Each structure stands twice: as structure tokens, then as C-alpha cells.
Chain A
Amino acid sequence: MGCGTSVATETQVKRLETDEAVRSPSPALTMKAAVLIQRWYRRYMARLEMRRRYTWNIFQSIEYAGEQEQLQLSSFFTYMLDNFTQLNGNGPDLISQLLDPVVDPWLDRETCYNLISVPESYTGPRISFPLTVSDTAALLSAFKEQQILHAKYVLQLLNETKKLLKQMPNIVHLSTSYTKEITICGDLHGRLDDLLLIFYKNGLPSAETPYLFNGDFVDRGKKSVEVVTLLFAYLLLYPDHMHLNRGNHEDHIMNLRYGFTKEVMLKYKTYGHEILQLFQDVFSLLPIATVIDGKILIVHGGISDQTDLEFLSSVERYKVKSALRFPRCSLEQLDIGRSYRLAKRMRSTDSPRSGSSHSYNESQRSPRQRKRRCGLSSQDSAASTSSSSSSLSSSSSLCSPRTPSSLSPRPCPPSPRMPHSVLQVPFLDSLSSVPLPSPPQHEQEWKQIVDILWSDPKTQEGCSPNTFRGGGCYFGPDVTKRLLLQHGLQLLIRSHECKQEGYELCHDGQVITIFSASNYYEVGSNRGAYIKLGRELVPRFYQYQVSRTTRKLTLTQRVQAAEGSALRALKEKLFAHRSELMTGFQQFDQSDAGSITVSEWAQVLEAILRLDLPWRTLRPHLARLTPDGSIEYQSCFEDMGPGVPLPQVAPNLAETVFRYRTDIEIIFNIIDKDHSGLISTEEFRHTWRLFSTHLGIDIDDTAIDDLARSIDFNKDGSIDFTEFLEAFRVVHKLDFKEQLGEKVDEVKYSGGKHL
């Protein structure tokens, strides 16, 4: 048919043009016209589907790449804890105050919370304990009206939640014989609208409507505080009908990067630290798994081939505060002096306030020694990147062995004297190894819990480290089968991954992923869903999508919006790696023509950005072609620029700031204890030097000083870091969304002073 049909149609249609007298076309002609239109339309839909697919790919790749960077940040915090001396000589270590439990002068916190006074002018909800239905109703309506709950009530609520959770086991066993259908929800990520929609469609939590929320209540979305407050309130109100599992974002270090910490600090200026401290405790006390009727296992991430439910029932779960704080190891198991020093460094990050005195000792070494110690750990590592896989199975490695050679500046020669199991600690763009003795109890606990919270199912059999995320495992259908069989289970329900339809089945129907944050990447990107499970234990799925506009967006508009958003994010990535990319491109362009082939271009992008994306398909959005069909690589960076004219800085310094902008913002927020939006020039210099040392970037002190001086706009010795960050925000010169006539919901980077 193919060619034949279209030619016939063309001829016949052309004939029609000339023959004006034909009023009613023959049935054959009508049919041919219809076929043409149908074909044209189907092609259009296919292309739309294509765009939707790769837009999704972009979002996911960037998200997971971001999560990998997160681990690098956590090691930087560890590093800072060891090396960061107080800047003005008085006051305790600023960092450990935030990250470590503070031994507080207040003996009875509960009494202290009760003593906080709420001013008359406060118009928000006032709740009392024990909570009643009217309290939760008050919270619901208050949050719908954008009100903020007073810190006193938050502290009390968290305290009560902590007391309740302490009584719960690690694995909660539920039975449907006493309950009606149970509703199981996945990730919410601070999306209050989705939670409210679920409550609206499905009913509020009650004896008739029990719920289980499977982790990741906070981070990313703007209303994490409200979401988690409601969940905890219902937990206190109906402890038998409301159930919560811990997710990988119920973790104070993840919160530092993904927005929860910031949200709390912005909403609670006086008691922010105290609230965060309580959250840290509460999160670590959340149960890690739930089993329904002894048949259905529900965890946030997944499982590994080493998952041992009996062992998990017995661990002290509250000890694993964060997946990103490596477990402590005991002194007795060490044998060499060098290991002792390194182990002591690990310990000092975990121990309470007395630990900060350790870090003083460490940091009192001369700068040269300090630097050498960092260099030492990377050069003396027993495992090079290629053999890290052997250490992964025994020890608790959280890094990706997949490091392109262009990015690891320090090769790791093997050294026979080191202990067998090593911990690969990523220091931003390089890897260094911290040798650990054989895994003590704590490490096992940590690994088992991390596996439960971070793993993803894959179709290939077997179990391998989850290099994408940098934590947990990829587990195959055989792993699932074995575990389910071992415990007489029939189904695993988990969350952790965004799915376009809100849910997805895999492993032959033995694993269900349930995700409850609709429009997760962008408006229209995906639906949310929840599961209802009755006594017969057959899951039923309910989907929904939050819509902020009254006008229903067509599929085309949704795809266009999501695509625009994804492409912006992708272009920012390109921009942030500009000089590396240019170097890569120029390597293929010896004659300095300004262009290279599409293949070469794709190769460079793949190697440097480490994002597995269909670059050729994306090419029209990213770069221009020359008349002969090769790529003008400079055009990749054309329609973007800095927020405001940049101060005169060394080019690689500027790019570094662009790339690590989010991390820098977090660090500044930590340093800025009084939330003034200002830090001293000295603090800035000190932090920046540490950061660049850590990155292994050779930036001389004068460049840093110049930068500090140039952004100290009023020359008063303090830097408004909000303005600083504004300068390093990537601005898109061609704003797609404005072209579409839609309002851009820009993320506001505001310092504390604006609220």
C-alpha cells in the first residue's frame, strides 16, 4: 500500500482542485481524504508521545544525578566538621551544632515547650493534647488557608509523636480483619494539594478509613511542614488506624539539600533549630516496614538479597539517623596508627557535643598536614575504582564506581598493607578510600535499613549496587521471589520512584510501586495514585492529578510545558559544565572550525554530564547545525547567561559556583545562624577556601579575595549571600514558557531577611 496510496491520493486531490463542479466527492475520495488526515494525526500523536518519553528521561536522569551529588555533599560536611574551626574564636562549632545532637541545658524539654507563650496576635490554629478531631479539623482548615502552625504546637506535636513512635516496633504488623479497607499512599514530597485531594476523594483518616503512608513526606515540595504535621496529627489521633513508614527523605542530611531544612528555617526563625532536631529524632523512630495479614510487605524503597526481616525486627532503628552518615566503628577493632586517625575522624562526626573537642584537636594541625591527610587517604586506598565492586558487597559503599576518567584527578594505586574492606568516600569529583575494619554490628544495621529505604526493582535477575542513586540495591525478580517465599508473603508494595500513571507493577505482579505526588516533575508530568486493599488482599488503584488551573490543559499543552521545563533544566546543566564541555568539543575540532559531528558532540556530552539521554533527538533544542550538517558547538551556551553582570572573577571559579550553587546555598544558610541573609567576609573566605580545596580546584587566594571584595557591595565586611547567589543564577534569554503565554512559577531564592 505505502507509496501507492499516497500518490493516488495526491493525484486525486489535485484533480479536485481543478474541477470546481464536483460538489459531493466520491466515497473513494472521501475515504482517501480520511486516511490522509488520520495518518497525519497519528503521526502527530506519536511525536507527542516521543517528546513525553524523552522529557521524562531528562527529569529522571537529572534527579538521580542530583541524588548522587548529595552523597558527595554529605562527605563534605563530614570534612567540614573535622576542619572547621570557629571563625571568631568564641562560640561552639557552628556545624556540629546543627548536625549533632546537642546536650541541652534544658533537662525537661517537654516542660520547656509547654512554657513557650503564644502571642494574642497569633491567628493560627491552637491545639491541645491529647488531640481530638476538632484539633485535626482546625489544622486542615488552617493549612488550606495558608496559615502556619505556631512553633510551640509543632514542638509539642513532635514531642508527642516521638513518645508514641518509641513504643512501636521496627516492623509493624497489621490485620485487615479489624479494619475496613486500608488505603496505601506513596511519596508525597511536601505536596499538600495531593494530600488534601486524597483526603477529599477517599475520606479523612478514621476507624473506617485507615491509612498507610509509605515514606517521603518531606522535601522538594513547598509544604512539607504542613504535610508532615497533618500526618503526625492523625497518627496521634488514631494510632491504630494511621500508619507511617520511613522513607529515604526522612533523613536530616537529605533534608539539608532537598528543601525541608530550608522550609523549616524560613517558617520558624526562632525555634527552627530545635524543631529540626526533633524531626531528626522522630524520623529515625519511624517504623521501617509494615506487614499486612502476614502476606503483604510494605517498605519505602525495596529489598536486597541480604535483607533479613528477622534481623531488621531486632535492630535499634533510631541509631540510623541518616543513610549518609557512615556508621561508627569501635576503637578496639583497629590495629594501625593510620587507621586509628581515620577512624577517630569518623567517630568524631557521630558522637555528641564532646565530639567537637575532637575536631578541635584535628583542626589544630597545620594546614599543610590537613591537606596531606586528605591526599593521603586517596592515594593509599586499597581499592581502585575498578575493584570497588568487591568491596561493595561486604562494606557499606555509597558511591558510584562509574567515574569517568576525565573527572577523577587522583588515581588510586593499590596498596597491599591496607585492610580488606574499604569504604569509598566520594569527595565531590574524586574518590578516596577510608579503610574500615570488618563490619561491626552498627554497619550491618545501617546497610539493612539503607537497602530498605533506597533500593529499586529492576527486570534483570540478581542484586547489584544501585549506582544510579548511590545507595541501596537494584533487586531482580529472583530476589523478590526468594524473599516473599522465605516469609510466606505474596506481595511487595513500595514507593520511591515516580511513575507516569502513579503506580506500576513489575516482577510478574509481585511488586507494586505506588507514588502519590502528581505533577512531580512539572505540571502534567504524571498522575498520583493510591491503593485500596480489602480483606481479600487484592489491590485496587485510584488515580488523580492536581490541577491548579480551572482550564483543562490539553495533552499538547501539558507535554509542551513539561518539555520546556525539562529542557531548561538540561540547558542549565550544560551551562554549569561549560568549560569542561568546551575543552571536550575542542579536542575534536583540531582545525578550530567551530563545529564537530553530531556523534562527537553526543560523545562529549555523554562523557562529561554522565546523563544517559537521547542526545541526537534532543539536538534541535540544544544546538545549531551548520549548513553541512555538523554542530556549531558554541551555540549550546548561547541563550543563557548569568543573573546579573558577574563581578570580574576567574572563569572556572564562576562555573564552579554555578554548578554547586545549591550546595553553597545550604552551607551559607548553616553559617548564617541568625538568618540575617548576611555572612561575614571572613566566613565567606574561609568557607570558600575549604570548599575549593575539597573540590580539588586550584584557585589561588587572591582570586577568592577578589571575589569576596567584589561582592561585598557596601564594603562593610559582610556579604549578602542572597545577592551573591542571584548573580550566579542561570537566566534563560529565551523563555519558552513566556512564549506559551503561561505564568512561570519561579523558585525564589530568598535569604532569611525577606521573611
Chain B
Amino acid sequence: MCLTLLIYLVGLFFSETVSDIHKKITTAFKLFDYDANNTVDAREISTIVFSLGCFPSQADLHQIIAEVEEGSSGYVHLDTFLPVMTKVLLEHRFPPIPVEHILRAFEVLDKENKGHLEEGELTKYMTEEGEPFTNKEMEEMLAVLLNNKRGLVYYRDAVGLLGFDGVMK
């Protein structure tokens, strides 16, 4: 109880009020509420969480989904989602990753310090390590990052291109 109050108070010191946060969450949620009945498919939750500025891992997402899903229906109701997500935002639980760290991560994978990764290399890492990509995800990533004929991923450019947010203005 006290902790929640503390978090609320802490939240108030930030420029965003809880009411603003509620509105933000509701807006993002409603974008996927196709039936206009305040429910979304549980599979859209990850998109919603990401779009609210968070950088959770897959495990984090599974945890959230488990918390908000209506039993095993596959649906999530706004009433359940709102308080959970509000807390996540107020706690800044999944802070953004600075761009430099992404760059460093690529450099770790680029063992020979070539400045680029081969298609095969990247595919191997992404589909076998960490929280592996599905084939579809891998295909799409290559389509975006592999913009040249030599089949190489110039990760420095890629990070700059995809940037941080993808928002144009």
C-alpha cells in the first residue's frame, strides 16, 4: 500500500500525471480494440507495451501477458491491463536501451571487427542465441538491414537508420 502511494507521489513529480498515463495507455490499447468492447487479443500486448516506450525482453512480456490475460481466453480486458501497465510506466521498469549499447552489442557479435556482419552470421545469432527469432522475424530483419547487394549488414548504418524511435518528425 505504502509502496503504491510512494510510487504515485514519485509519479506526480514527473511532468506526466497518472491521468495522462492512463490516457496514453488507453489510446494505445484502443488502437487494437477492433470490436470496440475494451478487449484486445493477447498477442497484441507486446506491440502495445513497446509502443508505450518500454523495452521489455520476451520473458518480461510473457510475464505481463500472464498477469493480464483473462484465463486462457486469449483476450485481455482494459480494466485488467490499465493498472498493471500504469505501474510498469510509473516504475520505469523497462527503460530504453541507449543506442551505443546496441552498437556495442553488434560489435560483440562482430568478432573479427570487420565493421559488418555477414547475412549468415547474423542469421545464426538471431535464430539460435538469446531469445531466438522466428523465420518470419528473421526474414523481415534481413529485408530491412540487408539493403545492399553483397549480403552484408553494416550495423553502424543500420542502427542509425532504424534509429531509436522510427518516428519521422
Q: How far is the CA of A651 from the CA of B125 in the complex (A)?
A: 61
Cβ of B126 under 8 Å from chain A: yes
Query: Scoring A residues 1 to 15 as 1 if CB is less than 8 Å from chain B, else 0, what string do you get?
Result: 111011001100100
Cβ of A163 under 8 Å from chain B: no
Cβ of A32 under 8 Å from chain B: yes
Complex partner residue of B104 from A17, A39, A43, A49, CB under 8 angstroms: A17
Chain A residues lying within 8 Å of B15, measured Cβ to Cβ, are 628-629
Shortest Cβ distance from residue B74 to the other chain A in the assembled complex, whole angstroms: 15
Q: How far is the CA of A5 from the CA of B27 in the complex (A)?
A: 30
Q: How far is the CA of A698 from the CA of B148 in the complex (A)?
A: 61
Query: Scoring B residues 51 to 67 as 1 if CB is less than 8 Å from chain A, else 0, what string do you get?
Result: 10001111110000000
User: Cβ of A37 and Cβ of B104 under 8 Å apart?
Assistant: no
- Do A3 and B93 contact each other (CB < 8 Å), given the known contacts A43-B55, A45-B140, A616-B27? yes
Q: How far is the CA of A39 from the CA of B167 in the complex (A)?
A: 18
Cβ of A47 under 8 Å from chain B: yes
Nearest opposing residue in chain A for B128, CB measure = A34
Shortest Cβ distance from residue A568 to the other chain B in the assembled complex, whole angstroms: 12
Cβ of A441 under 8 Å from chain B: no
User: Cβ of B31 and Cβ of A57 under 8 Å apart?
Assistant: yes
User: Cβ of A2 and Cβ of B108 under 8 Å apart?
Assistant: no
Cβ of A364 under 8 Å from chain B: no
- Chain B interface bracket (under 10, 10 to 19, 20 to 34, 35 or more): 35 or more
Chain A residues lying within 8 Å of B97, measured Cβ to Cβ, are 6, 36, 39-40
Chain A residues lying within 8 Å of B57, measured Cβ to Cβ, are 1-2, 5, 35, 39
Cβ of B154 under 8 Å from chain A: no
Cβ of B32 under 8 Å from chain A: yes
Q: How far is the CA of A39 from the CA of B129 in the complex (A)?
A: 12
Chain A residues lying within 8 Å of B101, measured Cβ to Cβ, are 9-10, 13, 36
User: Cβ of A44 and Cβ of B109 under 8 Å apart?
Assistant: no
Query: Scoring B residues 142 to 169 as 1 if CB is less than 8 Å from chain A, else 0, what string do you get?
Result: 0110010000000000000010011111
Nearest opposing residue in chain A for B31, CB measure = A53
Q: How far is the CA of A44 from the CA of B105 in the complex (A)?
A: 16
Q: How far is the CA of A24 from the CA of B109 in the complex (A)?
A: 9
Contacting residues of chain A (10-41) with chain B, CB-CB under 8 angstroms:
10, 13, 16-17, 23-25, 29-41
Cβ of A555 under 8 Å from chain B: yes
User: Cβ of B20 and Cβ of A38 under 8 Å apart?
Assistant: no
Shortest Cβ distance from residue A480 to the other chain B in the assembled complex, whole angstroms: 15
Q: How far is the CA of A57 from the CA of B31 in the complex (A)?
A: 8
Shortest Cβ distance from residue B61 to the other chain A in the assembled complex, whole angstroms: 9
Q: How far is the CA of A331 from the CA of B51 in the complex (A)?
A: 61
- Do A38 and B37 contact each other (CB < 8 Å), given the known contacts A5-B57, A554-B144, A614-B30? no
User: Cβ of B133 and Cβ of A38 under 8 Å apart?
Assistant: yes
Complex partner residue of A620 from B31, B133, B167, CB under 8 angstroms: B167
User: Cβ of A621 and Cβ of B168 under 8 Å apart?
Assistant: yes
Shortest Cβ distance from residue A446 to the other chain B in the assembled complex, whole angstroms: 29
Shortest Cβ distance from residue A569 to the other chain B in the assembled complex, whole angstroms: 16
User: Cβ of A617 and Cβ of B27 under 8 Å apart?
Assistant: yes
Nearest opposing residue in chain A for B15, CB measure = A629
User: Cβ of B133 and Cβ of A46 under 8 Å apart?
Assistant: no
User: Cβ of A556 and Cβ of B144 under 8 Å apart?
Assistant: yes
Q: How far is the CA of A46 from the CA of B50 in the complex (A)?
A: 6
- Do A2 and B60 contact each other (CB < 8 Å), given the known contacts A555-B140, A621-B169? yes
Q: How far is the CA of A466 from the CA of B36 in the complex (A)?
A: 15
User: Cβ of B23 and Cβ of A50 under 8 Å apart?
Assistant: no
Q: How far is the CA of A99 from the CA of B129 in the complex (A)?
A: 68
User: Cβ of B23 and Cβ of A616 under 8 Å apart?
Assistant: yes
User: Cβ of A29 and Cβ of B108 under 8 Å apart?
Assistant: yes
Which of A2, A23, A43 gathers the greatest number of chain B CB atoms within 10 Å? A43
Complex partner residue of A37 from B30, B126, B143, CB under 8 angstroms: B126
Q: How far is the CA of A460 from the CA of B93 in the complex (A)?
A: 37
Q: How far is the CA of A16 from the CA of B101 in the complex (A)?
A: 11
Cβ of B106 under 8 Å from chain A: yes
Cβ of B82 under 8 Å from chain A: no
User: Cβ of A459 and Cβ of B35 under 8 Å apart?
Assistant: yes
Q: How far is the CA of A564 from the CA of B101 in the complex (A)?
A: 30
Chain B residues lying within 8 Å of A31, measured Cβ to Cβ, are 129-130
- Do A39 and B31 contact each other (CB < 8 Å), given the known contacts A46-B50, A616-B24? no
User: Cβ of A16 and Cβ of B30 under 8 Å apart?
Assistant: no
User: Cβ of B109 and Cβ of A30 under 8 Å apart?
Assistant: yes
Contacting residues of chain B (78-121) with chain A, CB-CB under 8 angstroms:
93-95, 97, 101-102, 104-109, 111
Contacting residues of chain A (30-72) with chain B, CB-CB under 8 angstroms:
30-51, 53-54, 57
Chain A interface, DSSP helix/strand/loop, else mixed: helix
Cβ of B10 under 8 Å from chain A: no
Shortest Cβ distance from residue A561 to the other chain B in the assembled complex, whole angstroms: 11
Shortest Cβ distance from residue A476 to the other chain B in the assembled complex, whole angstroms: 11
- Do A41 and B105 contact each other (CB < 8 Å), given the known contacts A34-B129, A598-B20, A616-B24? no
Cβ of A251 under 8 Å from chain B: no
Cβ of A665 under 8 Å from chain B: no
Which of A48, A57, A563 gathers the greatest number of chain B CB atoms within 10 Å? A48
- Do A47 and B166 contact each other (CB < 8 Å), given the known contacts A36-B101, A40-B102? yes
Cβ of B41 under 8 Å from chain A: no
User: Cβ of A37 and Cβ of B140 under 8 Å apart?
Assistant: no
Cβ of A676 under 8 Å from chain B: no
Chain A residues lying within 8 Å of B24, measured Cβ to Cβ, are 616
Complex partner residue of B144 from A57, A460, A555, CB under 8 angstroms: A555
Q: How far is the CA of A45 from the CA of B140 in the complex (A)?
A: 9
Cβ of A599 under 8 Å from chain B: yes
Nearest opposing residue in chain A for B107, CB measure = A16
Q: How far is the CA of A9 from the CA of B100 in the complex (A)?
A: 12
Q: How far is the CA of A36 from the CA of B108 in the complex (A)?
A: 11
Q: How far is the CA of A254 from the CA of B157 in the complex (A)?
A: 49
Shortest Cβ distance from residue B65 to the other chain A in the assembled complex, whole angstroms: 14
Complex partner residue of B109 from A17, A33, A617, CB under 8 angstroms: A33
Q: How far is the CA of A50 from the CA of B54 in the complex (A)?
A: 14
Cβ of A340 under 8 Å from chain B: no
User: Cβ of B31 and Cβ of A50 under 8 Å apart?
Assistant: yes
Q: How far is the CA of A628 from the CA of B51 in the complex (A)?
A: 23
Cβ of A521 under 8 Å from chain B: no
User: Cβ of B108 and Cβ of A33 under 8 Å apart?
Assistant: yes
Shortest Cβ distance from residue A258 to the other chain B in the assembled complex, whole angstroms: 27
Shortest Cβ distance from residue B90 to the other chain A in the assembled complex, whole angstroms: 14
21 interchain pairs, CB-CB under 8 A: A3-B95, A9-B105, A25-B108, A36-B97, A37-B130, A39-B97, A42-B137, A43-B55, A45-B137, A46-B50, A48-B166, A49-B47, A50-B50, A50-B51, A51-B166, A51-B167, A460-B37, A554-B143, A554-B147, A563-B168, A616-B24
Supplied contacts A24-B111, A31-B129, A47-B166, 8 more A-B pairs, CB within 8 Å? A13-B104, A32-B130, A37-B106, A39-B56, A41-B162, A50-B47, A614-B28, A616-B27
Measured CB to CB, the residues of B under 8 A from A are 15, 20, 23-24, 27-28, 30-32, 34-37, 46-47, 49-51, 55-60, 93-95, 97, 101-102, 104-109, 111, 125-126, 129-133, 137, 140-141, 143-144, 147, 162, 165-169
